[in-house]
Amino acid sequence: MYITTGEAAKLCGVKLNTIKNWIRQGDIAAVQTPGGHWRIPRASFLTFMEKFTAPAISNNADTVLSPKRILLIDDDLTAHELMIGALEVDNAGYEVYSAHNGYSGLIEIGRLQPDLIVLDIMMPDINGLEIIHRLKGDEPPLAEAKIVVVTAASDRRLVVNRINTANPEALLFKPLNLKIFINTVHTVLGDAKASLQGGLGI
């Protein structure tokens, strides 16, 4: 299991850049994603906390390191980077995972049991609507996840009509307004500290 630099900063009570500096200095072992984001192995971070931080933080680590899981399913790599970057800057402590097509998305849903799925409708193999129908049609369901649909479709009326029976928690159109995206994530996941400022609903 990995944690983000934002989660690490929250645990240690320091700024994001401090965590990144510790990584560069070798104080915290971490790996870098192809998009340039740092991911810290949970075991490495717990070792770091035991050596350099207050015992109270280490003792409470298991509780804090159980964030809600978000799975992004989208064949648009740029969209992935934008959403991941926005979630890291938001520093709300979510675990974020990616799948780049419908097939791998279904596998990751079963494996991760995410709390929220951010799902593109238009994908070349299994489209988002089919994934939603599989999620809601299986007995028992593949996952008890909230769903936020994102789409670049130009005909918004057609998209709205097509997903009307799918009943996701929210529908957002690309190019994403990242502030609305973050507020939508907080609201759908029941984060009381956030308030939705438009863009939610169909």
Does 200 map to a domain? no
CA 124, CA 128: separation in Å to the nearest integer? 10
143, 106 contact by CB (below 8 A):
no
Q: Is the confidence at residue 20, as pLDDT, over 60?
A: yes
Q: Which residue has the higher pLDDT, 31 or 129?
A: 31
Does 197 map to a domain? no
| Tokens standing for residue 49 | 């906390």
Which residues constitute the domain of residue 121? 69-188
Q: Is the confidence at residue 198, as pLDDT, over 70?
A: no
Does 199 map to a domain? no
CA 143, CA 167: separation in Å to the nearest integer? 15
pLDDT of the residue at 17: 80
Does 181 map to a domain? yes
Q: Do 58 and 138 belong together in one domain?
A: no
Q: Is the confidence at residue 80, as pLDDT, over 70?
A: yes
Work out the average pLDDT over 187-199: 55
Does 141 map to a domain? yes
- 57 pLDDT band (50/70/90 cuts)? very low
Q: Is the confidence at residue 197, as pLDDT, over 60?
A: no
- How many domains, in total, are found in the chain? 2
pLDDT of the residue at 102: 87
pLDDT of the residue at 66: 61
pLDDT of the residue at 129: 82
Question: Given 36, 64, 92, which residue is the final one in a domain?
Answer: 64
Does 170 map to a domain? yes
pLDDT of the residue at 6: 82
Question: Given 46, 64, 82, which residue is the final one in a domain?
Answer: 64
Neighbours of 73 (CB within 10 A): 27
Does 198 map to a domain? no
| Tokens standing for residue 146 | 């909230």
Question: Given 49, 64, 79, which residue is the final one in a domain?
Answer: 64
pLDDT of the residue at 7: 81
State in Å, rounded, how far the first CA of the chain is from the last one. Answer: 35
Q: Do 83 and 9 belong together in one domain?
A: no
Q: Do 22 and 88 belong together in one domain?
A: no
Q: Do 110 and 181 belong together in one domain?
A: yes
Q: Do 127 and 35 belong together in one domain?
A: no
Q: Is the confidence at residue 156, as pLDDT, over 60?
A: yes
